[in-house]
Structures are given as C-alpha cells and as structure tokens.
Amino acid sequence: MRKLITNARIISPGIDLPNAAVLIKDDRIISVVEGNNLPTADHKIDAAGKMLMPGFIDIHSHGADGHDVCDDSIDSLRHIARRKLQEGVTTWLPTTLTQPRDKLKSIATKIAAFRDQGGLTRCPGMHVEGPFINKEKAGAQNPQFVRLPDFAEVEELHSIMPALILSLAPELPGALELIEGCRALDITCSAAHTAATSAQIFAACNAGLGHLTHYGNAMTPLHHREIGVIGAGMLDDRLMIEIIADGIHLSPDMLRLIFKTIPIHRLMMITDSVAASWIIEGEIQLGGLEVVVKDRVARLKEGGALAGSTLLANEGLRLLKQVTDLPLTELVKVTSWNQACSLGLDHVGRIAAGYLADLVLLNNDFSVAKTFVGGEER
C-alpha cells in the first residue's frame, strides 16, 4: 500500500522543504516530492503545513509516567514505549540502572520479549547504565549494587538482549580491558558516574570508549589545571556527547557553550527520563531509592541530588531551538541522525528514499501531532 503525506514542511539533516510530500510504500520512504505534482497513493495524510522530521532516537531513557525499565515487567516497557511515541520517539533503547546481576538478567529477558512483540517503538538494543560505576559519583544510582567491571556479566546480558551501550567508570580496575572486550562485541562504551581524569578518559578512548553519558553530570568538572571528563569531551573528537536538554541538568548557558565548542556531529540529545516523566508532582522509586517530583524536577528524597530527568523528547528539541537558535536542519542531527550514525542503526534518522518511514509530525510549538513507525501511525 502506498501512503502520501502531503503539505508538510520536511526537515531532515541539511534539508528544509516547505510544501513537500513523502511517498511511503510498506515501511519505507519511496520519494520526497516538492511542489504540487504529486504521485498517486492509496491513502493520503494532510500534514497541514506542520513540521515532518525523522522520528527521535532516544538512546538513554529509563522510564515514563510511573513506569521504569527496572520494574522488570513487559507491561511497564510497553507503557513507557507508548509514552515515548507521544513524544515523537520512534527508536528507544530501554536503559537499566545499577542493579544485582540476576535482576539485570531478568530485565534483559523482558526487554528482549518487548522487542519481539513489536508494535510500538523500535528497540534494536538496550543501554546498560552501571553497575560498573564509581561510588563517589553514584548520584541517583544505588551504591548498594555497584561492583567492579566484569566482562562475563556483560557477555551474558548481551547474549540475552543486545547491549548497544554500556555506561561505566573507565578509571575502575579492569575497565580498560572491559572496554576492549566490548569493542569486539560492537558494544559502545560510555563514561558515566566517573571520577576519571582527562588522561584516564584519553586512555579509555584508545581502548575503545566512544560516548560520554549525560555530559556534565556525575563526572569530573572542567578545571584549568585538570580538565577532567568535561574537558576531555571538548578536546577528543572520538567522543560522542549525550546531552540532557532540559535546562536543569545543563543550564541554558552551558548548552550554548557546548554547541559553540563541540562540533554538532558529536552531540546527541537524550531524555534520561525516569518514571517521573509525565508526572508534575509526586513520589517514585528509582533503583530502590526514593525520589520526589516537584514542578517536574526529580530529586532523591535523601540528599536532594537530581534523579534522572522528566524531559520529553519534543520539549528537548524546543529548548535547544530557543537556546541555540540554530536551524532545525542542524538540530535534527542531534535528535536522531547522530545517534543512528554512532550506533550503526541502518536506514533511520533521515527523510530520504530508502529510509524507514519513522517520522514525527510536529506543530509549530513542537508539540507532537502524529508519530509514524514504518509508515504506520502509532
């Protein structure tokens, strides 16, 4: 069946086409058409001038609307995925927390079952955040379950459900060997909850480190005599940078500084959303820790540390546009294309012939009008 989305403002990396159309057959984009000479189709959808962009790729998200990946429940995963679709996310990496080994195995099994059921977001893999982190930088990760790097544990999880990203502290004993082992399995390692020096980050890059997790948070700061993880991220072009674009985890000025100093092809917007997203006020659990949500900000009940974010993906794009004033043809790289390139996700992240019809239709205020996965409205 051929579908035609008409009267759209099509925004893709390097492309901003007003009054354009997308022809879809089955789950793929057949062509992008400018002007009024439209091809025939079995079904037409009038975009009414709204923005049509590649569906967002959220590579770091723990939960939404009272549900968490670590609930160890397929129903929770499906609930989170439905909320993600309402944010315009078409590809999602369910993200775990620092938990016991057997619990992580069970969670991985549930994620694999969720992937196999299909029908919601795409789920090419999972993001394992922890448990190999630095207790001094645990933040909202449960220090009770922190442990030293163990490649056998990663292999076991990866055999159950592909681990596309492993977030760890690269200064820990055995971390460099683990990073090298992960590289052989095509697992991208990311520095997280780390007290590493810049030299330790550079050494980890030599071993295969590729990302920095929730940049600026739970990592060593920039100092003029030791530039830390933040400075290493600015200097080393081998590193892709996760940014939480909520204006809280990174202030608007910090976001402007990041976009001024780091090439845009290295930046990836994430939500790092937890069960508190979609909730304005209330209390949730995060990896066994109590979290209070007030004015859509989640903090640990004990100590007050930020406990993940409540960011919705479409709101993150809106803030980035307000803060940076960069053209959407550039910012769209940060919401999907860079993630696809970094993780080797084929045929997503662009609106072009041959790509999957994973699309989000946005109103002018960046609220989500429709989300399509493989050409099907979800």
If asked whether residues 16 and 141 sit together in one domain, one would say no
- Residue 68 backbone dihedrals phi, psi, to 5 degrees: -135, 145
- The percentage of the chain sitting over the pLDDT mark of 70, rounded to a whole number, equals 100
Q: Of 118, 71, 115, which Cα lies nearest the Cα of 93?
A: 115
C-beta of residue 262 within 8 angstroms of C-beta of residue 268: no
Instruction: Tell me the pLDDT tens digit for each residue of 60-110.
Output: 999 999 999 999 999 999 999 999 999 999 999 999 999 999 999 999 999
If asked whether residues 39 and 185 sit together in one domain, one would say no
What CA–CA distance (Å, rounded) separates 177 from 157? 17
Q: What is the CATH number of the domain that holds 21?
A: 2.30.40.10
If asked whether residues 117 and 32 sit together in one domain, one would say no
Report whether pLDDT(134) > 90.
Answer: yes
Report whether pLDDT(114) > 80.
Answer: yes
For 348, left (φ over 0), alpha (ψ -120 to 50), or beta?
A: beta
The parent domain of residue 290 ranges over: 56-343
pLDDT at residue 35, as a whole number:
83
Q: What is the CATH number of the domain that holds 122?
A: 3.20.20.140
pLDDT, mean over the chain: 96
pLDDT at residue 146, as a whole number:
97
Report whether pLDDT(368) > 80.
Answer: yes
If asked whether residues 361 and 304 sit together in one domain, one would say no
DSSP element (H, E) containing 314 = helix 313-324
Number of domains in the chain: 2
pLDDT tier, 168 (very low <50, low <70, confident <90, very high otherwise):
very high
- CA 89 from centroid of its chain's CA atoms: 9
If asked whether residues 285 and 373 sit together in one domain, one would say no
Report whether pLDDT(232) > 90.
Answer: yes
For 324, left (φ over 0), alpha (ψ -120 to 50), or beta?
A: alpha
If asked whether residues 36 and 173 sit together in one domain, one would say no
If asked whether residues 154 and 212 sit together in one domain, one would say yes
pLDDT at residue 286, as a whole number:
80
If asked whether residues 14 and 126 sit together in one domain, one would say no
Report whether pLDDT(129) > 90.
Answer: yes
Catalytic residues: 272
State whether residue 166 is helix, strand or coil: strand
pLDDT at residue 190, as a whole number:
98
70's tokens: 């670590």
If asked whether residues 22 and 140 sit together in one domain, one would say no
What CA–CA distance (Å, rounded) separates 43 from 313? 29
pTM for the model stands at: 0.96
Amino acid letter, residue 190? S
If asked whether residues 366 and 326 sit together in one domain, one would say no
pLDDT at residue 308, as a whole number:
79
Amino acid letter, residue 279? I
If asked whether residues 179 and 307 sit together in one domain, one would say yes
Report whether pLDDT(150) > 80.
Answer: yes
143-147: long-range pairs with CB below 8 Å, 24+ = 143/98, 144/288, 145/98, 145/99, 145/100, 145/287, 146/98
Report whether pLDDT(56) > 80.
Answer: yes
Q: Of 27, 33, 58, which Cα lies nearest the Cα of 47?
A: 33
Q: Of 145, 175, 151, which Cα lies nearest the Cα of 163?
A: 151
Query: What is the arithmetic mean of pLDDT over 241-249?
Result: 97
Report whether pLDDT(287) > 80.
Answer: no
If asked whether residues 359 and 319 sit together in one domain, one would say no
